[in-house]
Chain A
């Protein structure tokens, strides 16, 4: 029996040491020598998605450019909003960074369910924009619609069905904004993922779909769907999307690219921010990062903090106008 007692005592002692370990602080002591610990970059979206791929590839260069390993992780739930909420537990200058974008800061606070959003854009400091991805609108190839003029003509006597990923996603809002400016009617059909939305247009279930370029690439190459327009100021012309006229050519302004901001917790010192920013800007220049970007059909971005703030404000306005 004595043995039992001593074992219990032992385990209690063990527990207490572990307890002590559990409540470790993560704030840094000196900013000059930042970082002194490994940095974690949280991607709040799906594994295997564009942001995740970029995050993991970029993390490889962490040791080289920041002097500490960078760990890429994912924390899912509520389209990224759970991770962004949990991130608020971090203090300024913490070793955790997170991705976020217009979905979390412009859309989520302005649509249904906003009551559950406990964070605002001001809770974070933007470090840099990892990439910009231009959305593309595609049509069932049978319709033979390849630009906005043809879309307008078609829309006169048709109510257009547009497949999008999620009814309150970026794609849904730019679709609504575009059709409003063109003055034609649309029905948004929400699918559970961009691939399924594209599949719907491939099957002829809907007439149009909105997605990233890389997502539509396969079906466009196969000639099942045709690109109608890209949501940008400048024309896109690569081996898949040949001379696709942008919405900008038609004087349309209510559009935005998909972005992926790297964010730190509010209050993080400017020196730390610029240290991370410079490191990441350099990472983006690496050959295999460039290769990945072209594979994913996304563009590197040199946006400043002001550009990022403007983007959030711009998208917020579009969301409010089209809700």
Chain B
């Protein structure tokens, strides 16, 4: 309790809140623009923090981190282009709502859900960090692999109406994820002696191609001269949630928050996996699973809660063990080090007040994110009143600039174009591109942890049943597979009788 008070007194200073809000604002912008990522934002503004104190710089970075996690949903909902990889699942239901003229409602739901997820994980961090860290330490390489393998079963859920096509697309994505240096053997795979392919294809790069630019190519479908979404509809939008709607999202939000926290503590998995996971769970639990993909508020609430619930959770291994859960957090590790704080088990005993200031601050980061979001979404929502003919080239400019900025490389723009063509052709032939993204998200992790497990066990497969957590996940995977196969047989029978 003493530390709590000391932490609070460290936190409640005007500069902390100023930097927090500045970070939040930048985060939303970087999150919302396709191609500009949270990591990039943190990288670019990191020098800024070198002159600040530990709490100030952390408030600034956490502002970027949380708002960036939320910002991706804005463009996913409004222009069918996820600003960040983890907003791809949000797009599935967000954009259909925009088409129905309910973009404000979708945006509002995304903001509410993100705030809830963020605060949930901040509270977990504040009160249960030691317990969660202990749980995290029980998870090893084989457990990580089984979590990923379980994640792959989501492919069935995002395949559209044809499971076989979903599997093809997913395996294709998994294959692409193997391009580059193989981390386990050091050998190269499919790099065609090109240095730019050495470290594989960055997720953002493929994301821009798969969703943003392929959408531009699809503008060939219709005459789009000066067409806009009905302006009147935009103004008259009813964005009040009904009682049923409020009730329907309650359960998926709580479940997704928990999923987000669990995924968040596993290093390297990150928000994309959490949002797909929760989306899949929310559909399985929903009373109206048929609405998913057509504008379900439950779907939006699930993925947005989950990807923000990751934010607080990734800080747990960082602060307790010094393990960065994703790229953004890895940079925050640097920010801690420069202030003379060595992340590790002793961090809390040596720098208790600062740690409490940071953890309490995270709750406020989320509260201010809500306030900023409320103002900014109204402003962002005007995007859809821009004529398509005008909006399209501007989106392309953003995409190209974003793709270039990842590695300062024109080669990456080439890659996005290749992905755009692939996605365009795939959607022409009725393949969903979401499984490709899922494959790209999970591929490296799945393979690395699988092979690392076998190195650790000297090639013995029993390592995958070596712990209770392993057995739980094996059980879950088996059940899920059985359910998928059963529903396939059912639909085939229905088709057959027709």
Measured CA separation A111–B191 after assembly (Å): 15
Contact of B181 among A78, A118, A198 (CB under 8 A): A78
B194 touches A221 (CB 8 A): no
A-contact bits for B336-378, CB 8 A (1 contact / 0 none): 0110101111110000000000000000000000000000000
Question: Closest residue to A119 on the B side, CB-wise?
Answer: B195
Q: Give Cα distance in the complex from A118 to B191, angstroms.
A: 14
Q: How far is the CA of A222 from the CA of B349 in the complex (A)?
A: 11
Q: Which of A122-130, A146-154, A212-220 contacts B (4 or more CB under 8 A)?
A: A212-220
Q: Indicate if B196 sits at the interface (CB-CB under 8 A).
A: yes
- Chain A residues closer than 8 Å to B330, beta-carbon distance: 46, 48, 193, 195
Given contacts A112-B188, A113-B188, A167-B184, contact A53 B337 (CB under 8 A): yes
A77 contacts the other chain (Cβ, under 8 Å)? yes
Say whether A113 contacts B407, CB under 8 Å. Answer: no
Contact bitstring A169-194, B, C-beta under 8 A = 1, else 0: 00000000000000000010111110
Among B140, B193, B340, the residue within 8 A (CB) of A203 is B140
A interface size (C-beta, 8 A): 57
Residue-wise, chain B 398-426 has the 8 Å CB interface mask toward A (1 for contact) of 00000000011100000000000000000
Contacts of A195 in B (CB 8 A): 322-324, 330, 333
Give Cα A224 to B334, complex, Å: 22
User: What are the residues of chain A within 8 A of B317 when measuring CB–CB?
Assistant: 199
- A140 interface residue (CB < 8 Å to B): no
Of A13-21, A79-87, A264-272, A273-281, the one contacting chain B is A79-87
Residue of A48, A75, A118, A295 near B331 (CB, 8 A) is A48
Counted as pairs of residues, one from A and one from B, with CB atoms less than 8 Å apart, the total is 155
B215 interface contact, C-beta 8 A = no
- By the criterion CB–CB under 8 Å, are A116 and B337 in contact? no
Chain B contacts of A202 at CB under 8 A? Answer: 137, 321
Interface positions of A (Cβ within 8 A of B): 46-49, 52-53, 56-57, 72, 74-79, 81-82, 85-86, 111-113, 115-118, 159, 161, 166-168, 187, 189-193, 195-196, 198-200, 202-203, 205-206, 214-215, 217-219, 221-222, 224, 292, 295-296
29 contacts between A and B (CB under 8 A): A47-B331, A49-B334, A52-B334, A57-B50, A75-B407, A77-B198, A78-B196, A78-B199, A79-B199, A82-B196, A111-B186, A112-B187, A113-B191, A113-B198, A116-B194, A116-B197, A118-B195, A187-B455, A187-B458, A189-B455, A190-B183, A190-B184, A196-B323, A205-B456, A219-B344, A221-B344, A221-B345, A295-B337, A295-B340
Rank and list the top 9 A-B pairs by shortest CB-CB distance, nearest first: A218-B344, A48-B334, A78-B198, A222-B345, A168-B186, A48-B331, A113-B188, A167-B186, A112-B187
Please name 16 further chain A to chain B contacts, defined as beta carbons within 8 Å, in addition to the given A189-B455, A206-B456, A217-B344, sorted by A numbering.
Answer: A47-B42, A48-B335, A56-B46, A81-B195, A81-B198, A82-B409, A113-B187, A116-B195, A161-B456, A166-B183, A168-B181, A193-B324, A218-B342, A218-B346, A222-B346, A295-B338
